[in-house]
Structure 1
Amino acid sequence: MNGNVARRVILGLTPWVGAVLLWYAVRWSGFVNPSLIPAPHNVAAKFVELLFQEHLLLDIWASTRRVLLGVIAGIAVAVPVGFVLGWYRGARTFADPMINFFRALPPIALIPLVIVYFGVDEVAKLVILFYASFFAGVIVMYEGVSQITPLYIRVAHTLGASEFEIFRKVIIPLTVPHILTALRVALGVAWATLVASELIAAQRGLGAMIQNASTYFLLDVIYVGIICIGCIALIMDLILRRISARLLVWQERASA
C-alpha cells in the first residue's frame, strides 16, 4: 500500500519538477533574454512577498468569489436548459444553432456591451463569467443527456414505475454525471475568462493584479498571478473529482 502511494506521489510530482527544470533550462539557454524570464526561485520569493506584505490573499479571494458566483449562476441555468435540449429532440433542433452561435463568441468581445448595459461594477464582471459558464455548461449537459440510452426507462416502465418514479430514480441519477462534468468544464472556462472579466475596472483580483503588473512590466508578479490562477483552478477541479467519485460510486458497482 505504501509503495503504491509513493509511486503515485512520484508520478504526480515528476511533471512539475520537469516543468521547473525546463523553466531554468530555457532561462539559462541563452536563446531568450534572461531578464524576460524570471527564475522560479525569484517568482517564489515574490509570491511570499505579495502574500505577507501586500494583499495577495484579498486578490485570491476576490477572484475566487467571482468565479464561484459566476459558475453557480451559469450552471443553475445551464442544467435545466441543457436537460430540455438534450431530452427533447425538437427543442434541440430549435435552439442548437443559436446556442452554438453565442458559444463561439469570446467573452472579451462582449466587454464593451457589458459596460454599456451593466456598468463597471461587480455585476458586469459576474455577467461575463456567467456567460462563459452557461454556454460551456449547457453544451456538455445537452450532449450528455441526449446520449442517455432509453433502455433504463423502458425497463422501469415494464416494472410498473410511475413517471415521477422514473424521473426521480432513473433520469436524475443518469443526469448527475453530466451535471458534474458540466460544472468542471464551466469552472475551467470561468478561470480562463477571469482576466477578461477583470478588465472591467477591477480594483482587486488576480486578473487585475496581472493587468496592473503588465503596465509596469513586473514579470515576476505576472508569473505569480498566472500560477495562482492555475493552482486554484487545479484545487477546485481535484475537489470536484473527489465529490464526483463519491456521488458516482454506484456507477462503478454497476459496471463491476
Structure 2
Amino acid sequence: MSEKNTFLCATLEYIVGDTMLSGLLLTMIISWLIAFFGVLQFWLYIKNQDYKLHSSVSQSFSLLWLSIGGILFFTGLNHLCVWLVWTDGAYAMLYIAQTILGLTLVLGCWHLMGRLFHSLRALSFVMWVYAIAALAFWFMLFRFGFESMQVTYFSVQAALNHPARIIYTVMFAPLFGIVLYGLVRSLRTFALRQSLEDPRLRFELLSGLSLLVLALAGTMDELSLTYDWATAIARLCTLVGAMLAYFAIAGLRVPTEELVV
C-alpha cells in the first residue's frame, strides 16, 4: 500500500471507527436514489416506444441522465468503500465515476448542441471536438489521478487533478450557456401560451430545469466547491434534478394519434 493510502486508511479508521457515519450513509443513499431515477427514466423511455415523441433530443437527454445515474451509483460505492476502509476500492470507484463523466459530457454535447444546431455537419464537428476533449480528460485523469481524498461526516471530497479540472470546465461552460439559453426560450414560449398542454414545450421546460439543477449542483460537487454537509445539500438538489428528468420523460407519453407531424 502506498504511503498516501496508508495515511488515508489510518484517517478513515480514526473517523469511521466501527460504525458508519450517519451523514455519509445519508449522502450514499441520496447518490443511489439519483442512480435509481436515472435508470427509471431510461427504462420508461425505452418501454413506451409507441407513446412518446421520438427525437434525438429526447433520446440523448434520457441517455444523459442514465450516465449521470451511473456516476452517482459508483460515487455511492465509493462511500461504501470508505466505510469499509478499503482505500484501493474507494479510488477505483472514483476512477470509474470520472470515466463515465467524460462520456456524460459528450452526451451533454449531443443533447444540447442538437437543440442548438439544425445542421448535421455542424453538430458532427462539435461532437468530434468534444470526443477529443473527453479523450484528453481521460488521459489527464489516469495520468495524474486525484490530488487528495478527504473524508468528512457527510461526504468524501476527492480533488481531481488541475489539468483534468481545466478540461472539464472548458467542456462544461458552453453547455451551461446553452442550458440557460434553452430554458429562457422555453419560459418565454410558456409565457406567451400560458399553457403546458403541448408535450414538446412541457418536455423542454422540465428537461431544461433538470439540467440547470444538475449543472449548478453537480458541478459544485465535481469541482469540490462544496464541503461536508453542503455536499449532501448539493446531492439532494441533484436528486431533484433527476426527478424532474423522470417527469420530463414521463410527459412524452402521448398517444401517437394525438401528435402533429
- Alignment TM class, shorter chain as reference: under 0.3
Structure showing greater radius of gyration is: 1
Q: TM-score, normalised by structure 2?
A: 0.25
Q: TM-score, normalised by structure 1?
A: 0.25
